[in-house]
Structure 1
Amino acid sequence: LRVAFDGDAVLFSNESERVFKRGLQAFLEHEEEKVKDPMNQGLFKTFLEVLERLKKKLKDPNDPYKKCPIRTYLVTSRDGGCGGYRAFNTLRMWGLRVDEAVFLGGSKKGPTLEKIRPHIFFDDQQSHVEAALKVGTVACHVPISSE
């Protein structure tokens, strides 16, 4: 089972996304200022927590090389700079991890999803949901919370 999540407004709160609406420079400055501060949780943080607990149960302590049948992905428009570091820092502070993270720096998500081929993808942007559907990925639109 491969599950892919967007970051802002899905795993994380929409705080940074609201800042981005003021412009890229405002977003970059905000992320640099807050790089060591974890983000608040988004609507799907608890779902990732459940998947991580399930993955731990499925691991074979006698065979560390056996692959878990569940893989989780972070597919985000954030870049690999402060924005990406803040995402990783937030997951680490929550005690969570993903198997793979892709920082697209604003590039389209469709080609990445086509390569990963997740069974389901969660995103708050309708354009990313539609791009996922075009490459054959089941995608769910996550409504943006009004925090």
Structure 2
Amino acid sequence: MPYDIEDKFVIAVASSALFDLTESDRVFMDKGEDEYRKYQREHEHQVLQPGNAFPLIKRLLHLHTGETEDQPVEVVLLSRNDPDTGLRVFKSIEHYKLPISRAVFVTGNNPFAYMEAFNATLFLSGNPADVKEAVEQGFPAGCIYPTDYIDDDEDSELRIAFDFDGIIADDSAESVYQQGGALDSFHQHERLKAGEPLPPGPLLRFFTEISKLQRRELEKNRSNPDYKPKIRVAIATARNAPAHERVITTLRQLDIRVDEAFFLGGIDKNRVLRIFKPHIFFDDQVGHIEGASRIVPSVHVPFGITNNKGRQAEQPPGKQSN
């Protein structure tokens, strides 16, 4: 029977996001492809350490009862490697017992081109150039940054935090602020538009699929009060009153609930992220990601006006071998 990928919540992940490829990337950059290929073969049975997206992917893939048909999330590996050098990644996937069975190896090309073929809602990579190009072509993608975060294996809950403008919603409201340069003008605009939902942003579909998983968890809790829901979702935005109302209007139109919302009005997002402790945080501004990535796994989505007129994603260093 053909496998219907359209019924699945699919995430595409590069090996540079799923595993720590620091050493093998160093070999590739310093010694070239032939030595890299030799290195990967020689270390084929040496398990790779978890990468910065590993806490998210592990928890998403464990959101099932043990039956294959009840696994709500599909993860597809999209890799710049060829199948030969990529074998080490699959052996590491097997070691960690991650139910990932599908992969694309493109031998140095940009793998995100195959996102639509797999119905992927998000492409996570450690390669900023790939991510930038993907977003420019209209694909939902994010570059995950290096972090000092240490995952707690005893913590089975999955916590995800999102910025709002440029992530869940588009950057049309942000454009008003960037072009006008005055906070009062932005607040006046958003007060007038308070009852009008914002257009979709680059990660809206991913956000919606996470919400569906959350509803599923809540339904389990209603049928079994002893079951503790495993997903918590937060929004951490620089908006504050009166601009907060349009966020709520947009969420109501989407029929999506969030567990926590932080309308920070310029307060450093790290102050709440330290307490919420997300396993992944998405933001469209490099300045926010550079700070947050020190304490939680963080993803820069290079979308919209803040990235077109400001700094581009310069870190982390490009990883050509993923």
With normalisation by structure 2, the TM-score equals 0.43
The CA deviation at 1:90 is 0.6
The match for 1:41 is 200
Query: CA 1:125–1:65 in structure 2 vs 1: closer, same or farther (change >3 Å)?
Result: farther
Give CA-to-partner distance per residue, 1:57-95, whole Å, 9 cap, x none. 22323235743101110000000x231111011101111
**C-alpha deviation, 1:45, in angstroms:** 1.1
Distance in 2 between the 1:106 and 1:145 partners?
20
1:108-123 matches, within 5 Å, as 108-123=268-283
Distance 2:245 2:226 in 1: 28
Gaps of 5+ in 1: none
Larger radius of gyration: 2
Query: 1:62 and 2:223 equivalent?
Result: yes
Give me the whole-angstrom Cα distance separating, in 2, the residues matched to 1:68 and 1:20: 38
The counterpart of 1:98, out of the listed 258, 272, 276, is: 258
Distance verdict in 2 for CA 1:127–1:93, change over 3 Å: same
1:140 aligned to 296, 299, 302, which one? 299
Give 2:191's aligned residue: 32
> Distance in 1 between the 2:277 and 2:160 partners?
9
Distance in structure 1 (CA, Å) of the matches to 2:217 and 2:251? 21
Q: Secondary structure at the match of 1:30?
A: helix
Aligned residue identity for 1:139: S
Do structure 1's residue 17 and structure 2's residue 174 form an aligned pair?
Answer: yes
Q: Please provide the CA RMSD for this pair.
A: 1.4
Once residues 64 and 102 of structure 1 are traced to their aligned partners in structure 2, the CA distance between those partners, rounded to angstroms, is 28
Structure with larger RCO (C-alpha < 8 A, sep 6+): 1
Aligned length: 144
What are structure 2's unaligned runs of at least 5 residues? 1-157, 306-322
Match of 2:239 in 1: 78
